[in-house]
Amino acid sequence: MLINHPLLGLRDAQEFVYKGDASLLQRPQCESDNALDAFTNYAYLRSNPAGLHQELWYHEQGDRSWLVVTRNTLTHEIVNVELASEVDA
Amino acid sequence: MDYSIFRVVKEALRNHKGWGPAWRNPQPKPSYDILIVGGGGHGLATAFYLASRYGLRNIGVLEKGWLGGGNVGRNTTIVRSNYMLPGNEPFYELSMKLWEGLEQELNYNAMVSQRGVLNLCHSDAQRDAFRRRGNAMLLQGADAELLNTDGVRELYPYLNFDDARFPILGGLLQRRGGTVRHDAVAWGYARAADRLGVDLIQNCEVLDFRIENGVVSGVETSRGFIGATKVGVAVAGSSSRLMSKVGIDLPIESHVLQAFVSEGLKPLIPGVITFGAGHFYISQSDKGGLVFGGDIDGYNSYASRGNLPVVEDVCEGAMGLMPMLGRARLLRSWGGIMDMSMDGSPFIDRTAIPGLFFNGGWCYGGFKATPASGLCFAHLLATGSSHEVAAQMRLDRFVRGAMIDEKGQGAQPNLH
């Protein structure tokens, strides 16, 4: 797979580390009343869709940026790539 | 009719005209007491044990394709019980014992071959870890032997012992482990369940669950509604997709695992060998092909096919362990979808919806678990409480902090 890095262009997916669902960017508030449930869901539950999936890829062997990649899990087609720093968490 | 040597001789004298289909192909009834979703190894085993051990009748198994057409026919056929943690090892050891009596119980030749599973170690620390795991196995009634280099050399003299980076220092051997003909497991359970009156309904995809007053009342399928008092879901690989129909998010990511087979060769590898430095394992089928595999691809996938970097990685593992494999030609490779759970261990549990039960999250270790998974799931469906060896395989173990994490990797499914 090639990932179209917003700054560096097409890069081999082997340069990246996969970190899973991009919902991990939305960290719950630790002060909230339901913090235990919220953190359990955040850390352990996944929607795991068959189809378009937003996920985190870390460019470890590159510029060390975090990307949010929108990829089809049925075909491995990548439809969108953004810098995680520019995605509204 | 039972299969036996006498039957084979008799049929041979009659030009083999007396063999019939191994199971019926019934129309679905309007309703069942228990419906199993998924006609793979685990679903068929569940149905068989419900009928044989718990005496239940009026059971249906729904399969979207054909029986045994999913992961039970796509794995690398290894069976073993070399786990360490108390939440796992008794379960897998029960499975091992059930494998040992499987063919007699099912009256079906599943080609159970206890040819030994050897895990190699390449550092002092890894040998210490194997010693600890071996002791844990012995404490749970399994067998384990720690081999030194000479012991490994006696079994497999052609391995790459003096590799500069990963020398082979020994290995943990489970002699009772081995391989089983995977398709025959599905067929054997199917035939035995059918003979006890279980309806095996193929080409019947479950599209949704019907929930009435908060309780499950049946399933919507591609062949219409089928009612049921209890529904057991055993569809590893599609677990998240199916459970999302009733709004249940699971602690599972779906990943693709590839497997490979070489051209047929003369007998070369008598047992199962796993390389401890990379992730690589290999055995030889009775037909002569070398069957091997390695890591999952590492990203969410439902594609049933992998990418080339993992092919390269697996072949590097092969060359690192057995350089002579470079002369063998690869015949086929394929992929299967795994339920990768958050701690690398499975689930056999009830759900928040009364009457709906879940079996899944097998990561890439589901095949060896088939008999115990079926027995424990049947126990749960029949009695309403967990079987003692599967008591920790609960969906709520994360919120309770009671993970069963053999590798200690944490909630990172692609590392398990």
Per-residue pLDDT tens digits for B40-99: 999 999 999 999 999 999 999 999 999 999 999 999 999 999 999 999 999 999 999 999
Inter-chain CB proximity B413 and A20 less than 8 Å: yes
pLDDT classification of A89: cutoffs 50, 70, 90? low
Task: Mutate one of A48, A57, A75 to test the B interface: name it (highest B CB count within 10 A).
Answer: A48
Domain that holds residue A34: 2-86
pLDDT at B246 over 80: yes
Percent of chain B with pLDDT over 70: 100
Looking at residue B29, what DSSP letter applies? P
Report pLDDT for B141.
95
Cα distance between residue B117 and residue B270, in whole Å? 10
Q: What CATH number is given to the structural domain containing A6?
A: 3.30.2270.10
C-alpha B142/C-alpha B131 separation (Å) is 14
Average pLDDT over residues B138-146: 97
Distance from A7 to chain B by nearest Cα, in Å? 22
CA dihedral of B90, B131, B294, B80, whole degrees rounded to 10: -30
Distance between first and last Cα of chain B: 44
Read off the tokens for B123.
């550092």
Contact B273, B348 (CB under 8 A): no
Whole-structure pTM value: 0.96
Contact at 8 Å (CB) between B35 and B231? yes
ipTM greater than cut 0.90: yes
Q: What amino acid is encoded at B92 in this protein?
A: Y
Over chain A, what is the mean pLDDT? 95
Burial A54-65 (b: 16+ CB within 10 A, else e): bbbbbbeebeeb
SS3 B206: strand
Query: Does the beta carbon of A43 lie under 8 angstroms from any beta carbon of chain B?
Result: yes
pLDDT band at B1 (very low <50, low <70, confident <90, very high): confident
Q: Mean pLDDT over residues B141-167, rounded?
A: 96
B404 lies within 8 A of chain A by CB = no
Average pLDDT, chain B: 96
CA–CA min distance A32, chain B (Å): 17
Rounded distance between C-alpha atoms, residue B399 and residue B413, angstroms:
17
pLDDT, tens only, B216-226 = 999 999 999 99
CA gap A13, A1 in Å, rounded = 5
How far apart are alpha carbons B235 and B399 in whole angstroms? 24
Separation CA B348–CA B335 (nearest Å): 25
Of B298, B307, B399, the CB nearest to A40: B399
Nearest to B240 among A14, A37, A48 (CB): A48
Alpha-carbon span B362 to B369, nearest angstrom: 8
Helix axis angle, B41-52 to B370-383, nearest 10°: 50
User: What residue in B sits closest to A72 (Cα-Cα)?
Assistant: B301
Q: Is the pLDDT of residue B3 over 70?
A: yes
Number of separate domains in chain A? 1
The one-letter code for the residue type at B354 is P
**Distance (Å) of CA B317 to CA B275, B277, B293, B323, B385:** 7, 8, 9, 9, 43
Interface test with A, best of B235, B300, B396 (most A CBs within 10 A): B300
| Structure-block tokens of residue B136 | 């844990």
Instruction: Answer yes or no: is pLDDT of A85 > 70.
Output: yes
State the CB neighbour count (10 A cutoff) for residue A4.
Answer: 14
Nearest to B303 among A41, A44, A75 (CB): A75
Q: Does B399 touch chain A (CB under 8 A)?
A: yes
Nearest to B325 by CA among B201, B156, B182: B156
Residue of B244, B411, B414 with shortest CB distance to A44: B411
Question: Which domains occur in chain B, in start order?
Answer: 5-17+30-81+83-108+182-250+343-415 (3.50.50.60), 117-179+253-341 (3.30.9.10)
Task: Kindly give, in sequence order, each residue whose CB lies less than 8 Å from that of residue B13, ignoring residues fewer than 6 positions away.
Answer: none
Q: Which residues of A touch B244 (CB under 8 A)?
A: 47-49
pLDDT band at B333 (very low <50, low <70, confident <90, very high): very high
Q: Is A64 on the interface with B (CB under 8 A)?
A: no
For B295, the enclosing helix (H) or strand (E) is strand B289-300
Task: Examine the pLDDT at A54 and tell me if it is beyond 70.
Answer: yes
Can you tell me the mean pLDDT for B194-215? Answer: 97
